[in-house]
Structure 1
Amino acid sequence: MSHWEKSSVARVTPPARPRKLAKVPFVELADGRLQGVVSSGSDIERVYVSSVAAGTYAFACSTNNNRPCGGARGTFCNHIRALIGEAVLQYGAERVARGLRVETGGVPSADGIVTEMALTRPAKADGQAAAAVFSRFLRHLAYLQLAPTTAPLPEMQWFPPTRAAA
């Protein structure tokens, strides 16, 4: 049994490049989407929950109060562009392109990924994922406030204990 199988600590993939968390504090490739939280440029108390679906590139962007983004009308808004840019910094352009199922035809970049997706005329998605994404962001913030410890966290133990072979 390896060290990771005995440990309650999850392996974390380091970011492809360092990124600034002030503009996009939360970004993830999950649930068949690129999704995250993007800070408002005009109001410090407002954030936008943005997502792009893999393959169809259907997108959604709304505030944390479920108000639709004014810039996401038929095309990607600046929040979604910022989300893609930060995802490329976090995961690398190849992983983001692969996760969104974007064929870039060469070495991918954030701008290249956005351009390829925009060429397919993505549909505006419903914002049903926004609540789940924002909830995961808040949970992520709660973990950052915990004191460092090596003790297991019950909510982080996803797998049942294994029985020793008899």
Structure 2
Amino acid sequence: MDADKTAWEQRSLVRVVPPVEPRKLAKVPFVELADGRLQGVVSSGSDIERVYVSSIDAGSHALSCSTNNNRPCGALHGYACKHIHLLAGEAVVQYGLDRVARYLRVEVPTGDDLMRHLKGSPTRTPAAVVFSRFLRHLAYLEVADSTEPLAELHWFPAMGAVR
């Protein structure tokens, strides 16, 4: 191995930051802090074939929830639906209350409930991007462990390459 390169630069694998607490993935299989939102995929409580894409915007705390085929959640009326509550709860388990609150730009006293401090109103945010990212993460679960490069990531430029 080249002495000037770290181990992660030699393979297609980077260590993932572990969750603050272990998560149960059945209800909220995907949660992320990305694109200026807390967003993720939440399983339907009534239909095993339906999932909801829910999000909370950072700063404005606007709330969005719709099915994976962009039909609005019937329970999002001026206040957060159960899908958004589940998403927020799992985000706190995954990232910790301080990190989620900081990302959403809200003051939450230690030990308090994040949702009590969010006063956003419902908005429509397209579900396709978040749902596609979720499906991509599922596909990576089927890739066998390897230190070999992944073909679909070969377009990334080499670190330190000079042109």
Residues 2-41 of structure 1 mapped to structure 2, 5 A cutoff:
2-41=6-45
- How far apart in 2 are the matches of 1:124 and 1:164? 46
Is the 2:11–2:147 contact (alpha carbons within 8 Å) kept by the matching residues of 1? no
Taking only aligned residues, the RMSD between alpha carbons, in angstroms, comes to 1.7
Aligned residues: percent identity? 61
- How far apart in 2 are the matches of 1:23 and 1:12? 22
- How far apart in 2 are the matches of 1:42 and 1:146? 31
- How far apart in 2 are the matches of 1:76 and 1:98? 20
- How far apart in 1 are the matches of 2:117 and 2:153? 37
Is the 2:11–2:149 contact (alpha carbons within 8 Å) kept by the matching residues of 1? no
Number of residues paired by the alignment? 158
TM-score normalised by length of structure 1: 0.88
* C-alpha deviation, 1:48, in angstroms: 0.3
| Corresponding residue SS for 1:12 | coil
TM-score normalised by length of structure 2: 0.89
In structure 2, which of residues 109, 120, 123 is the aligned counterpart of residue 125 of structure 1? 123
Q: Which ranges in structure 1 are unaligned for 5 or more consecutive residues?
A: none
1:124-164 CA distance string (max 9 Å, x none): 22222x11000000111111112222211133457301456
Q: Which ranges in structure 2 are unaligned for 5 or more consecutive residues?
A: none
Q: Indicate the structure with greater helix content.
A: 1
